[in-house]
Amino acid sequence: MSAPVRITDAAGREWRFDRPPRRVVSLVPSLSHTLAGLGLADRLAGRTVFCTQPPELVESVPAVGGPKDPDVEQVLALQPDLVFMDMEENRAEHAGALLDRGVPVWAVLPTSLDDVARLFAELGAVFGIPDVAAAQAAILAACRERASRSWQVPIPVLCPVWRQPYMTCNRNTYIAALLRECGFQNIMDEASERYFRFDATMVPGGRDLRVLLPTEPYPFDEEMIPVGAADFRVATDQVFLVRGELLSWYGGFTAPALATLMDLHQFMLESATDT
């Protein structure tokens, strides 16, 4: 790093980096995966129990608890020079405890794919790997370009992220932005809250609707497909199980998610034509 790098994080805090961080604790599974994908796994001094991608992190990097309940003293014992936190996945009191002890906390809150591209650029600048980060950003840009040319008519979808009670998201979220880019119209886009409870009776059902059940954060599985079909008044062939990381893990998972969702969009169109 030839000159100090300054960033303003999602919490509005301004940080100056005079040299690349050497000991990083990531309390965000998406970012642990992304950092490893950028060749920075050796900088990770700590992670959460849910930071399991790539799998080698589980053996090589100690866990400090979950995103909601990290052991702050354990984090401090690792002597990090930077901690990554997400403003929705993590809690403000834990960020405050670390900040009070003089530990820089880089907060993120991506709500669009432009935010993901910007994150790659910032990581490249801060860690002194601009070319590596630019290569990842270029892959993302190419996927976005293909996605923009892959569909004409959006497919209405419902994407629950939790059950008992059911919860989903509005348009101002990363999940909705990702779906939108691939030709899906989140039927809950216009809700006033970013994440909110909803009653299944609010869902219009019908042959045009598709339901996406992500495998996390709620562990939807194959057995939940007929349950979702009954709850939302659609046929079982209108309900699709989707790997949760592809919908909610931003950064390194964004480009693969675009490719997978584009394929799913095409499959839905072809299936509708066949019937």
What is the structure's pLDDT at 85?
98
What pLDDT, on the 0 to 100 scale, is given for residue 27?
98
Q: What is the pLDDT of residue 188?
A: 97
pLDDT score for 153 = 86
CA distance 154 to 163: 26
| C-beta separation of 210 from 182 below 8 A | no
pLDDT recorded at residue 275: 56
Residue with tokens 């309390």: 27
Show contacts of 124-133: CB within 8 Å, 24+ apart: 124/38, 125/5, 125/7, 126/5, 126/7, 126/17, 126/20, 126/21, 127/20, 127/21, 127/38, 127/40, 127/43, 128/1, 128/20, 129/38, 129/39, 129/40, 132/38, 132/39, 133/38
What dihedral angle (degrees, nearest 10) is formed by the CA atoms of 163, 168, 174, 179? 100
Model-level pTM greater than 0.85? yes
Task: Report pLDDT for 274.
Answer: 65
What's residue 205's pLDDT? 87
- Spell out, as residue ranges, where the chain has pLDDT lower than 70: 1-2, 273-275
By 3-state DSSP, what share of the chain in percent is helix, strand and coil, each rounded to 5?
A: 40, 20, 40
